[in-house]
Amino acid sequence: MIARWRWALAQLTKRLWFRASLFSLLGIATALAAIFFKDFVPESIATRIGADAVDKILGIIASSMLAVTTFSLTTMVSAYSAASSGVTPRATTLVMEDSTTQNALATFIGSFLFSLVGIIALSTGAYGAQGRTVLFTVTIVVVILIVYTLLSWIDHLSKLGRVGETIDRVERATLEAMNSRAKWPFLGASQYPIELELLNSTPAVNSNQTGYVQHIDVQALGNVAQQCGALIYVEVLPGAFVHQGMVLARVVISNRERGGDINTIDDRILAAITIGVRRTFEHDPRFGLSVLSEIASRALSPAVNDPGTAIDIVGRGVRCFTQWANQAHLAEEVGSNCLQVHLRGLEVDDLFDDFFAPIGRDGASVLEVNIRMMKALVSLSEIDPHRYERVCREQALCLIKRANIALVLDEEKTKLGEVALKFMI
């Protein structure tokens, strides 16, 4: 359960320009700081330290960092293109949010601006002997930072944009989203009553945008419900596609004296639900599973013909569902101010459909993929029978139906049936 401003801040800090701008300002401030700290350096130290070469060092840093930054940007664009064409365009966002890449670029740009401002200040004579000493000391620290960043950047380049590395990122993002949702199954709100059927006449809050729900600020909704004496029933979850005029929530005024203007309530509820042009991984486990499934489907296409990647994806899906089952007991209670807000939880059937259905459809004619899928379903039914056995059985029967149509040899159908024997009993 994350407030909207914290979520928006987290999204901002993941942008490439944010760190680059931050390091750039830091580099400029560091170069100018030597002017203000020069009076703290004794003249005796300034005469002993050979700071006369600092202008040459800064010149080398300025020219080399500009070239390294240009090279790094070219490499990044190539990595994004490789991730988009080799894996899926939906995974490019995770590659762009890579902290190591952002730190490296920000360090290079910040070092370039540091050296540039230092050269300009030296040409004006603003430093003096003591200021040169301070600048020389800071420059040595910057050089050490550059060397460390270059070494880590070189190691990182060997993995950036590769299929396996990108799949790892998608899996980690999916696991984080599933762990978060296991902890807050209703995003910190109360469970939407299963038997509740609200009338169409119940006041509804309609969307004024078209796009995907990216975040729901349950705390803000809880404050609205408490202040207005209302019960709020949210009809959508993060990841849902909504259109203009679609019902996002319904409001039941339980305290007429505190109810207030219904239009004001609508505006505050709309402000608590963030709608964007694309889905995000943070609060949408179904999106992560869909992206993993999409990677497997692309690998199974005739143009790629890589069933090994699809088999690898199935194993990662088993890890994700296993983590979901293991974390289910950690679910926390409803937030103290969110008792009057009601949300629906994720359905296991939807999660399995998002992951297994596309792979089963596109891999129906590949025996090894069918066998791996069947083994995965058997494993999940044994890991958590109460949660998974029914849906695993349904997915297994659907898998067999597809395979019986797509597989050519009777021997292959028999082999798959032997693996699925558990679900036939």
Domain edges within the chain? 4-161, 172-180+282-336+345-424, 188-276
Confidence check: pLDDT of 370 > 60: yes
The reported pLDDT for the residue numbered 298 is 92
What is the Cα–Cα distance from 95 to 331, expressed in whole angstroms? 30
Instruction: Please classify residue 220 by burial: count the beta carbons closer than 10 Å to its beta carbon, then call 0-12 exposed, 13-18 middle and 19+ buried.
Output: buried
Question: What type of residue is 225?
Answer: A
Confidence check: pLDDT of 253 > 90: no
Q: Rounded to two decimals, what is the model's pTM?
A: 0.84
Total H helices, total E strands in the chain: 17, 8
Q: What is the pLDDT of residues 313-353, one digit of tens each?
A: 999 999 999 988 887 666 666 666 788 899 988 999 999 99
9-30 mean pLDDT: 81
Give kind and range of the element (H or E) at residue 35. helix 16-37
Tokens 């790094």 -> residue: 72
Share of the chain above pLDDT 90, in %: 32
Instruction: Pick from 124-128, 133-137, 201-205, 298-302 the range whose average pLDDT is largest.
Output: 298-302
Share of the chain above pLDDT 70, in %: 88
Which stretches does DSSP call E strand in 130-268? 190-191, 204-206, 211-216, 230-234, 241-242, 247-253
Which DSSP symbol is given to 211?
Answer: E
What is the Cα–Cα distance from 77 to 306, expressed in whole angstroms? 25
The reported pLDDT for the residue numbered 44 is 54
In the structure encoding, which two tokens stand for residue 136, read together? 């020389």
**Summary mean pLDDT of the chain:** 84
40-44, 201-205, 208-212, 365-369: which range is least confident on average?
40-44
In the structure encoding, which two tokens stand for residue 32, read together? 């100018």
416-424 mean pLDDT: 78
The reported pLDDT for the residue numbered 292 is 94
Confidence check: pLDDT of 40 > 70: no
381-386 mean pLDDT: 90
The reported pLDDT for the residue numbered 239 is 92
Going by C-alpha positions, the residue among 206, 179, 203, 138 that lies closest to residue 325 is: 179
The reported pLDDT for the residue numbered 39 is 62
385-403 mean pLDDT: 92
Residues 6+ apart with CB under 8 A from 276: 211, 212, 214
With bands split at pLDDT 50, 70 and 90, how would you rate the model's confidence at 391? very high
Could you tell me how far CA 375 lies from the centroid of its own chain? Answer: 29
Q: What is the pLDDT of residues 42-68, one digit of tens each?
A: 555 544 555 566 778 888 888 888 888
Domain 188-276: give its CATH architecture: Alpha-Beta Complex (3.90)
Sheet containing 273-276, strands listed edge to edge, beginning at the edge strand earlier in sequence: 241-242, 211-216, 273-276
HSE, CB side, 13 Å, CA atoms: give it for residue 283.
30
Instruction: Please classify residue 18 by burial: count the beta carbons closer than 10 Å to its beta carbon, then call 0-12 exposed, 13-18 middle and 19+ buried.
Output: middle
Going by C-alpha positions, the residue among 59, 76, 73, 36 that lies closest to residue 111 is: 59
Distances (CA, A) of 167 to 8, 49, 181, 292, 298: 26, 52, 21, 7, 13
What is the Cα–Cα distance from 292 to 356, expressed in whole angstroms? 10
The reported pLDDT for the residue numbered 378 is 92
What is the Cα–Cα distance from 245 to 304, expressed in whole angstroms? 42
